[in-house]
Chains A and B, each alone.
Chain A
């Protein structure tokens, strides 16, 4: 039996570290990532945007070269190094090539003779359920069909490792589910030439549904914070209690407060001064979330998984919102549960002006950059200050992109709380209301 043998490693990722930006320094996106992929497993990389999981995937695909560390491919007993192939979130099909030509692309690059190329491409198209569409152009296909082309194109070159970069996130829920099931069927029946799959996702349920092993990434910088083995038998049932428990567990791990030893730039938690990266969360979404949790059936306490379900939100969207509430002391995160504070429940019931006042109070009390801007504006006789100045101050602590995003968020929150005004034309904060 094959199971007795130790699984053969395919790829080893060793102490990977990568920065964006100019060579010395730059913004750290991946920090000391180690990973070994073995045969016959589906591994999921789970994390929020900015957690470097796509960077890791691209390092393995050979599309980018990490600043430090190494990706090693282990040759099999015949001495062949494993090959990889990738499926893209945006499908990445050539619009001027037909389905067949798109699938043949990789073979053509390998200079496979025309006849063999055609036979293999047709076989892949057949396998993936695209017969009859060989001569269609991508623009004639639905999103699901396009991703099937992407899959066929990746499989036709017989890769040992299939890399998938959020392959289902650009599809609607039903289509994504069908495609996922089809892929799992092909995998479990061993009809694909691949030995292993590495899939990037920010959908927790998707990861639990598909993977044998899940690596949970923290963001800013990306680090593996947890490795979770999923032993549930396939096919898995979303409503199965162990399944739910695992999803809740992962939510809890993803929202867990970092330990004190981690450096201050890690994210979004109270008491860190001006160096906080604030995600773009709109005040409307915050209000909506508080109302949802305040109302029935949650009555002030909701599990993140249930919330994500009932609000139709990806974890990527829900987590920043929940953390912002936590930052403003409108909520507590306990395990995988979101617990509204009395302030938030008060907010949910209040009228527009009272809400604004509550929000302004919370901002001034708990968001240092808002306090900072307000203090400067109060001190100056003109009651105006260029936004450039604050952006520069933020850039001392974070990358320019994050500084810009943070200041935009602050501007939107400040405007809503009527703490200050902002004029885009002159790029200035002020205390005055527009005339």
Chain B
């Protein structure tokens, strides 16, 4: 190395420092936006810590002037839940990946929680959180945030865990070889590697969260009815009063809100996270975001991120430094301790099972269990038929879109919006139609279950179709493969692995949605279809905890069984036979 060479990033002279930190125009714009956001958050959060009585003094009204404020409250709840889910993910998933014993419990638990009907839990959580903060709105706020959290956390944690498990061995060996401490390793390797899938998952979770916002802001548990100021309560009230205009306004407001946080929050993050994509070759189109570009042009940006950098710095300062170059010989797990641990886990599981069974059976008999199973079968038939119908509709459309890149580009945001849109908003219309034509609710309420989840099928089919290699399509074209043969031998095998992913998500979501979709009301008109969803919904309204517990347990059992017996084998088949590459 030549000695006269200056290190490129030596401390700049003071005058340059001044110039560097002098705000520019981008700073101005960014500052205005950020200040406005901060003010909004503050204004919204104020309302969350007032005494509970205030809810009765200032009930939700359908005055459009209040709508933006309600939207603000709802969005803050959603971001609070997202933040909680992220923290949960970072802690729990990392623990599961790093500690074998923790993993033995956490991984199956996450797997089950992913497929449990979250809406059914509202009953328990609302009572719990209201007890934590008696007489304060904060308790109910926590309950609502928790409901949203439960819809986001599990799959985020699971995806993060899977990312951590798929870190390339050579990078692990480098970290180990250089003796990176656990904290440094987490910041340098684990977190960056798992960030892109986590961001993607967070986006999907946020979309799913809307569904639960609408269901969780206005809840009736037994004889307690709570309505938090928010879009969800607005909608509930509009439905009760049969006010079409108010519903239309809420839908428009949601569209605006979704657009705003997509542009101001998720796009910039996706653009930023692109640098962590694990690829060794340049190329591909990079995601773009005007907001991110704006932020990057600001000079005060480092100040904004100072707190995050500070936390990172603090963590690294705590870091004990280089761990021993040659870690101690890994102790063989002591078989006695191992067996003790396993029996402890088994004991805990057994106790939990006995306790819940005892709780349910104390008031309910075998006949009740039989009834729940019968209703679950009805709901299952609905789910199967609906998935089949949705597939028949969306697979051809998705394939067509996927094979036309121009349309795919144009329709992707539309489809994303539709997926984010809470389908329960549209339920009243179904009620009107059914009442008007005197249709059977058992049949005609069913489509509502898949209204919100069918988009997963469409998404995935589009992705699968655009991933069909061009040479395969050209070969098919050259040999004149068309019609049914084309579908059978080119398109369907090409999209199958993607389709299975989509259908799995859609079917899980439909089970969950059945709790709100099988029993729907519009003003004083109430329609019910026979099914497990209605069973749980009715038990919730009546405050009948044993039945709620039984309903949730049976539904979880069905969803898990469905996943294990139908989707997993299909997935394995797709992996084995149809994976292109």
Do A and B pair up? The answer is yes
Residues of chain A lying within 8 A (CB to CB) of residue B181: 109
Which residues B138-180 have CB closer than 8 A to chain A? 168, 170-171, 173-174, 176-180
Q: What separation, in Å, do the CA atoms of A83 and B171 have in the docked complex?
A: 19
On whether the beta carbons of A126 and B178 are closer than 8 Å, the reply is no
Cβ–Cβ < 8 Å partners of A94 in chain B = 171, 174, 188-189, 192
* CB atoms of B279 and A105 under 8 A apart: no
A residues bordering B, Cβ < 8 Å?
A: 23, 58, 61-63, 65, 83-86, 88-92, 94-97, 105-106, 108-111, 115, 118-119, 122-123, 126-127, 134, 137-140, 146, 157
Out of B8, B188, B275, name the residue touching A105 (CB < 8 Å).
Answer: B188
> How far is B181's CA from A192's CA once the two chains are assembled, in angstroms?
27
The contact sample of 13 A-B pairs, CB cut-off 8 A, is A62-B326, A83-B325, A89-B170, A90-B168, A95-B280, A105-B188, A111-B322, A118-B9, A122-B7, A126-B5, A137-B275, A138-B280, A139-B280
Residue of A85, A97, A139 near B177 (CB, 8 A) is A85
Given contacts A63-B177, A105-B178, A118-B7, contact A95 B325 (CB under 8 A): no
Residues of A within 8 A of B174 (CB): 86, 88, 92, 94, 105
Nearest chain B CB to A19 CB, angstrom units: 13
Answer yes or no: B276 CB below 8 A from chain A CBs. Answer: yes
Which residues on the B side are within 8 Å of A146 (C-beta)?
A: 280
Partner of A86, one of B2, B173, B330: B173
Partner of A63, one of B5, B176, B184, B281: B176
Residues of A within 8 A of B280 (CB): 95, 138-139, 146
| CB of B223 within 8 Å of the partner chain | no
Q: Which of A85, A90, A110, A127 contacts B322 (CB 8 A)?
A: A110
B407 within 8 A of A: no
Closest to A102 in B: B174
Give A92 to B319 CA distance when docked, in angstroms: 24
Tell me if B327 is interfacial: C-beta within 8 Å of chain A: yes
Question: How many pairs of A and B residues are in contact by the CB < 8 Å rule?
Answer: 88
Are B5 and A122 in touch, CB under 8 angstroms? yes
- Bound-state CA distance A90–B189 (Å) is 17
- Is B278 an interface residue, CB under 8 A from the partner? yes
Chain A residues near B179: list those with CB within 8 A: 109-110
Pair A139/B170 contact, Cβ less than 8 Å? no
Q: How far is the CA of A85 from the CA of B325 in the complex (A)?
A: 10
Contacts A109-B180, A140-B282 aside, 18 further interface pairs with beta carbons under 8 A come to: A65-B329, A86-B174, A89-B170, A92-B170, A92-B171, A94-B188, A95-B276, A95-B277, A96-B276, A105-B174, A109-B184, A111-B319, A111-B322, A118-B7, A118-B9, A122-B7, A134-B8, A139-B281
> Across the interface, do A86 and B177 meet the contact criterion of CB distance under 8 Å?
yes
Residues of chain B having any CB pair with chain A under 8 Å? 1-2, 5, 7-9, 168, 170-171, 173-174, 176-181, 184, 188-189, 192, 275-282, 319, 321-322, 325-327, 329-330, 332
Q: Is the CB of B325 within 8 A of A62?
A: yes
Chain A residues with CB under 8 Å of B5's CB are 122, 126
A140 (CB) vs chain B CBs: closest residue? B282
- Closest-by-CB residue of A relative to B335 is A23
Cα(A283)–Cα(B329), bound, Å:
45
Q: Given the complex of chains A and B, what is the CA–CA distance between A138 and B276 in angstroms?
A: 12
Question: Are B178's CB and A127's CB within 8 A?
Answer: no
Among B178, B278, B319, B332, point to the contact of A95 (Cβ < 8 A): B278
Q: Closest CB of chain A to B6's CB: distance in Å? A: 10
* B510–chain A nearest beta-carbon distance, Å: 31
Contact residue among A97, A122, A157 (Cβ-Cβ distance under 8 Å from B1)? A122
Whole-angstrom distance from the CB of B568 to the nearest CB of chain A?
18
Q: How far, in whole Å, are A146 and B7 apart by their CA atoms in the complex? A: 22
Most buried by B among A65, A85, A96: A96
B residues less than 8 Å from A111 (CB atoms): 319, 321-322
CA–CA, A91 to B173, complex, Å? Answer: 11
Ranked 6 nearest A-B pairs via Cβ? A92-B170, A106-B178, A126-B1, A123-B1, A62-B326, A111-B321
The residue in chain A whose Cβ has the minimal distance to the Cβ of B278 is: A95
A157 touches B192 (CB 8 A): no
List residues of chain B with CB within 8 A of the CB of A62: 176-177, 325-327
Taking CB atoms, residues of chain B closer than 8 Å to A110 are 179, 321-322
Q: Please, which residues of chain B bring their CB within 8 A of the CB of A95?
A: 276-280
Docked-complex contact B188 and A88, CB < 8 angstroms = no
Chain A residue contacts of B2, Cβ below 8 A: 126
Residues of B within 8 Å of A89, CB to CB, are 170
Residue of chain B at shortest CB distance from A121: B7
- For the complex formed, measure the closest distance between the CB of B174 and the CB atoms of chain A, giving whole angstroms: 5
Q: Are B279 and A139 in contact (CB under 8 A)?
A: yes
In Å, the complex CA distance between A90 and B171 comes to 10
Q: Out of B279, B322, B332, name the residue touching A109 (CB < 8 Å).
A: B322
Least CB distance from B323 to A in Å reads 8
The smallest beta-carbon distance between B551 and chain A, in angstroms, is 40
Q: How far apart sit A228 and B279, CA to CA, in the bound complex (Å)?
A: 41
Inter-chain contacts of B1 with A (CB < 8 A): 122-123, 126-127
Cβ of B332 and Cβ of A88 under 8 Å apart? no
Which chain B positions have C-beta within 8 A of A63?
A: 173, 176-177
B192 in contact with A96 (CB, 8 Å): yes
Given contacts A62-B327, A108-B184, A127-B1, contact A92 B173 (CB under 8 A): yes
Chain A residue nearest to B330 in the complex (CB): A65
**B274 → chain A, closest Cβ, in Å?**
10
- Which residues of chain B have C-beta atoms less than 8 A from A126's C-beta? 1-2, 5
Q: In chain B, what residue has the closest Cβ to A97?
A: B188
**Which residues of A lie under 8 Å from residue B7 when comparing CB positions?**
115, 118-119, 122
Which residues of chain A are near B170, meaning CB under 8 Å? 88-92
Cα distance A61–B281 in the bound complex, in angstroms: 29
B491 to chain A, nearest CB (A): 21
- Interchain nearest-CB distance for B331 vs A (Å): 10
Given A23-B332, A109-B184: A92 touches B282 (CB 8 Å cut-off): no
Check A109–B192 contact: CB distance below 8 A.
Answer: no
A62–B322 alpha-carbon span in the complex (Å): 14
CA distance A363 to B181 in the complex (A): 55
Q: Using Cβ atoms and an 8 Å threshold, which residues of chain A touch B279?
A: 95, 139
User: How near does chain B come to A418, taking the closest CB pair, in angstroms?
Assistant: 24
